[in-house]
């Protein structure tokens, strides 16, 4: 079951690459902040690289103007996330989270088995909006879709 609106983001440790691999907790990311977390099935994959992440890069200033931080998550390692962020010209303030073991994806109930595609356990494509660690909106894509988790869709959802 996916996390419910009104529930708190589970406490999980992820990684980022800044002067080496650094651990970062969901408490550090979400506590006392407004955050949009969007997740992709994999860095460098077609829809993720052509549409999903670029949309958030394009709309990043709009999120900032609203006082909302943005984080991108994938079941990849921190080195892959850093390389992808460089390839996609991601602003430094947009947090690129490596959920290498799918711990957060599983804790949110938003994991998917992509073994049929040779990708193993991954995260579903989704976007959520949280205030002080409490989920206020959750948009989860149907398999193969890219409609409700785009930057514009989550901006429209949160108003």
72: annotated active-site residue: no
Of 26, 82, 74, nearest in space to 52 by CA: 74
**Considering 48, 53, 73, 74, which one is annotated as catalytic?**
48
Q: How far apart are CA 144 and CA 136, in angstroms?
A: 25
CA angle 104, 65, 96 (to 5 degrees): 30
Render the burial of 59-87: b for 16+ CB within 10 Å, e for the rest. bbeebeeeebbbbbbbbbbbebbbbbbee
Contacts of 119 (CB under 8 A, 6+ apart): 41, 42
**Contact of 41 with 122, CB cutoff 8 Å:** yes
Residue 13 phi, psi (nearest 5): -100, 130
Which active-site residues does the annotation give? 48
């Amino acid at each position: 079951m996916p996390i419910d609106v009104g529930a708190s983001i589970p406490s999980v440790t992820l990684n980022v690459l800044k002067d080496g691999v650094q651990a970062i907790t969901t408490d550090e990311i979400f506590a006392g902040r407004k955050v949009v977390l969007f997740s992709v099935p994999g860095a460098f994959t077609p829809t993720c690289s052509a549409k999903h992440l670029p949309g958030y890069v394009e709309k990043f200033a709009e999120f900032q103007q609203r006082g909302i931080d943005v984080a991108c998550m994938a079941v990849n390692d921190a080195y892959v996330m850093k390389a992808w962020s460089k390839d996609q010209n991601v602003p430094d303030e947009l947090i690129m989270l490596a959920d290498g073991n799918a711990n957060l994806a599983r804790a949110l109930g938003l994991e998917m088995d992509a073994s049929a595609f040779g990708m193993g356990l991954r995260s579903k494509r989704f976007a959520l909006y949280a205030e002080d660690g409490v989920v206020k909106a959750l948009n989860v894509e149907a398999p193969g879709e890219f409609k409700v988790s785009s930057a514009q869709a989550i901006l429209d959802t949160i108003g």
